Amino acid sequence: MAEEGKPTEPGSQPDTSPNQRTQDQARAANPSSLTADAEKDAQVEAAKARVTAVKEAAQAAPGAPKAPVKKKEEGPKPVDASSHPLVEKLRQKFDAAVIEASEFLGQLSIRIEPSSVVKVCDALKRDPETPFNYLSDLTCAHYPDHREAPFEVIYNLYSIPANERVRLKVWANGEGVESVTGVWPAADWPEREVYDLFGVAFHNHPDLRRILLPPDWEGHPLRKDYPLEFVENRWTEEHLPEFTDVQKEQLDQRRAYGLEILSASPEREVRELFKSGKEVMPKDK
Amino acid sequence: MSPKEIAAHYEAKVFDSPAAAESAGFALTETLAPRNVWNKASAAQSLALKLRDKKEKGEAKEIGLVIEPWSVTGCYVPNETAGRDHFKV
């Protein structure tokens, strides 16, 4: 009575249930079933080994907690490219204009004097071997620690016939640099963008004015000293109209249907939130 | 860079609270309370650059940043305090 219902432990007395007895009898009668069991056991052992191997591999996988990582080795660094044919060619034509040339991961960068940027660009465009006829991009970077000329204007040039690229870099201070719209008319809008977002002036530009921000916007947002803070400034106060009662009702209706993201003007909505003194985005406490 | 790294770059002291900065003799400037960590770094950079200019002009003897969880405040030791300290014995 006391032993009934207890599970049979391995190594204990064999199971003498009718089923087990019939199985034993069948094995005795048919020796091939014994080999089949041995095969099954071998398969189970192999499966267990595979599971163990997979677990070990998972521990070594990226998702698993890792051992302390050693400090990374330093990556590739720019190397001097003074011996590059294009640099040598430019040095022959404009010796003092080319300040330095470097190559990083196969990308050639040439730093040139700001005063001769138009001459160098014109020569590159008219070069018979590699005519850089396409101004791929014109952008800027702000280095506040580079005090004498904190802005670096960058010209990414591409030669469609020769399938070559070169990057020209020019330091610019508050006075600005010469416009290259005379060389590549496509420089018009990128130069306006740089002027808008960095405040770098381009002399002799045909239409130098802000392109993204409103004309009476104060400051240049991509400068390092411009805080990226979501605030209502003087411009939004002056220019964004207040909601009428009808518009407020419409907004409430749209909110009820969950359509405010699609239909409400975000600037107006933000202005409303600021005016009502609500917290725009609840901080994660 | 994080706000603390920015402060280290511009040799600015870091404080946990405005009270700690004031007790150390720093005068507080503007406070920026951005909504995310990237804008917090931008705010810290903006404040640090303004304070650096102040230091170079000779208006500030020492500069610092009060870095709180949801805000960054600039602070500096006015240069006139150096004279006051001279008379304290």
Q: Which residues on chain B are in Cβ contact (under 8 Å) with A174? A: none
Interchain proximity A225–B45, CB inside 8 Å: yes
Interchain proximity B46–A226, CB inside 8 Å: yes
Indicate if the pLDDT at residue A206 is higher than 80. Answer: yes
The mean per-residue pLDDT over the stretch A220-246 comes to 75
Q: DSSP secondary structure string, B4-70?
A: HHHHHHTT-EEESSHHHHHHTTPEEEEEE--SSHHHHHHHHHHHHHHHHHHHHHTSEEEEEEEEETT
Query: Residue A245 — very low, low, confident or very high, per pLDDT cuts 50/70/90?
Result: confident
Residue with the bigger pLDDT between B86 and A61: it is A61
- List A residues 123-142 in contact with B (Cβ-Cβ < 8 A): none
Among the partner residues A227, A280, A281, nearest to B42 by beta-carbon distance: A227
B39–A contact, CB cutoff 8 A:
yes
Alpha-carbon distance A231 to nearest alpha carbon in chain B (angstroms)? 9
* Highest-scoring range by mean pLDDT, A157-171, A214-228, A267-281: A157-171
Query: Residue A1 — very low, low, confident or very high, per pLDDT cuts 50/70/90?
Result: very low
A229–B contact, CB cutoff 8 A:
yes
Q: What are phi and psi of A271, to 5 degrees?
A: -60, -40
Over residues A7-25, the pLDDT tens digits come to 444 444 444 455 555 555 5
If one counts every other C-beta atom within 10 angstroms of the C-beta of residue A123, the result is 17
Interchain proximity A225–B49, CB inside 8 Å: yes
Q: Residue A229: helix, strand or coil by DSSP? A: coil
A282–B contact, CB cutoff 8 A:
no
A146–B contact, CB cutoff 8 A:
no
Q: What are phi and psi of A181, to 5 degrees?
A: -65, -25
Q: Which residues on chain A are in Cβ contact (under 8 Å) with B32? A: 227, 229
Interchain proximity B46–A230, CB inside 8 Å: no
Alpha-carbon distance A229 to nearest alpha carbon in chain B (angstroms)? 5
Q: Which residues on chain A are in Cβ contact (under 8 Å) with B6? A: none
Among the partner residues A225, A229, A280, nearest to B39 by beta-carbon distance: A229
Alpha-carbon distance A172 to nearest alpha carbon in chain B (angstroms)? 19
Among the partner residues A224, A225, A229, nearest to B34 by beta-carbon distance: A229
Alpha-carbon distance B80 to nearest alpha carbon in chain A (angstroms)? 26
Least confident of A10-19, A23-32, A186-195, A210-219: A10-19
Q: What was the pLDDT predicted at A4?
A: 42
Least confident of A29-33, A100-104, A150-154, A169-173: A29-33
The whole-model pTM stands at 0.65
* Residue A257 parent element (H or E): helix A245-257
Indicate if the pLDDT at residue B24 is higher than 80. Answer: yes
Residue of B nearest to A280 (CA): B35
Least confident of A2-11, A25-34, A184-193, B45-54: A2-11
Among the partner residues A227, A280, A281, nearest to B46 by beta-carbon distance: A227
Indicate if the pLDDT at residue A29 is higher than 70. Answer: no
A144–B contact, CB cutoff 8 A:
yes
Cα–Cα distance between A165 and A132 in angstroms, integer?
8
Residue with tokens 């997979």: A54
